[in-house]
A and B are shown apart, each in its own frame.
Chain A
Amino acid sequence: MNSSVSHLEPGTWKSLDEVVHEPGFSDHAMRVIQRVPAALDDGEVLDVLHHAKGVFGADVAVFVSFIRDDESRESFRFIVAADPRWCLTYQAKSWFSNDAWLLYAAANSQPTSDTHIPLRTKGQREAREVAAEHGAVSAYIVPAPAGGGLSRLGVLVLGSRIPGYFDSPAAGAIKILARSLSMELHEWWVRQIRQEVIARNRLTDDDLQLLRFEREGKSTKEIADLLSVSGVSIDSRFQRLNAKFSTPNRKAAARLAAEYGLI
């Protein structure tokens, strides 16, 4: 790995310090970030990520979302403003459970340069090398703290071909903006998942209300009294919900609904 920028043509790159001191930098970044909530689909979010990458002077940007449905099922989604072959290698090597950056994001909320994240295993070092090969010689890891605990996680990775780019003191100037972007991206993705789950399972408002009651620990009798229906009716409705979610019981269905942010 090059330890200098001599391989880059002079005048073709700017330091992070120069980028953040450009007139209107913060305003421009905020305008880009504010596009996320209004994005209608993946393509628009991807477009925002491309623009954000440019605003921060980065060469690559990837946003990773992780959601755990239950003990047996989980999903990873990558929005990639970079060479997507990076993600193919990542998946082929099954680095998900041992990724140093994801592990950092699972335990920390502060954005950080990758140099502050120790690489403890051969797999982690290999993953780091592959990231550098795909444009993240220097990387800024930005967790998106989410209310789902370890069952929902979002991480923004900004990468630069310039060694030490994100080790600059100027990284402090992008910390809040990068975190805002990461959180908006994560919230957008959670909303998408929520809509997909509702549509796929044909969930109604009554279904969601029932799941909330279950999540609150209410008994069948309490729910029946609140809704002025029989306990048999409540049990029957929960059975239908279990079938929709493919869960063994109402508690699991309610937990799944909570994990997806439905309740």
Chain B
Amino acid sequence: MPRRRNTVLAITEPARTIKSHDGSLSFVLLRKARGVQLERKENVDEDSVNGYVSLVTVFETVQQLNDFSDADDARYRYPLVFQQLRREADELFGLAP
């Protein structure tokens, strides 16, 4: 389906990918008109799931994204990943729409 001519295109900012050293956890961030879209993907090997779990959502403010980051238990296992996540988020939210 072709886009309508008067559709406002989203900002064409390349996606930013952050990966843990072991490849188990990754984040992909992308600036969108609504805010910053985040995809979180984690390999899981437990009784309930053996594979991966991913989620995609959008944050309208950097505070929302930081609150999400603070609630993620994986930050204890991959502190550098979350440090980079915050840096990337700060940069993306600092861009003019």
Residues of A that sit less than 8 Å from B by CB = 37-38, 42-43, 46-47, 50, 69, 72-82, 84-85, 87-89, 91-92, 94-98
Contact = CB atoms under 8 A, between A and B. Distances in A.
A42 B52 contact: no
A46 B55 contact: no
A50 B10 CA distance: 16
A96 B48 contact: yes
Contact of B68 (A50, A85, A92): A85
Interface residues of B, number: 29
B14 to A, nearest CB: 14
Contacts of B67: 85
Nearest to B46: A94
A96 B47 CA distance: 10
Interface SS, B side:
strand
Given A43-B37, A47-B34, A69 B55 contact: no
Nearest to B34: A47
A155 B35 CA distance: 26
A74 B50 contact: yes
A87 B55 CA distance: 8
B91 interface: no
A88 B54 contact: no
Contacts of B22: none
A92 B73 CA distance: 8
Contacts of A76: 49, 51-54
A37 B1 CA distance: 9
B37 A75 contact: no
A98 B47 CA distance: 11
B30 interface: yes
B1 A38 contact: yes
A9 to B, nearest CB: 21
Contacts of B57: 46, 79-82, 84
A79 to B, nearest CB: 6
Contacts of A50: 34, 58
Which 7 pairs show the lowest CB-CB distances between chains A and B? A38-B1, A78-B55, A80-B57, A94-B48, A97-B48, A84-B57, A75-B51
B51 A80 contact: no
A65 B35 CA distance: 24
Most buried by A among B44, B53, B71, B73: B53
Nearest to B58: A46
Given A42-B37, A46-B37, A80 B50 contact: no
A78 B58 CA distance: 12
B72 A43 contact: no
Contacts of A37: 1
A45 to B, nearest CB: 8
A172 B48 CA distance: 34
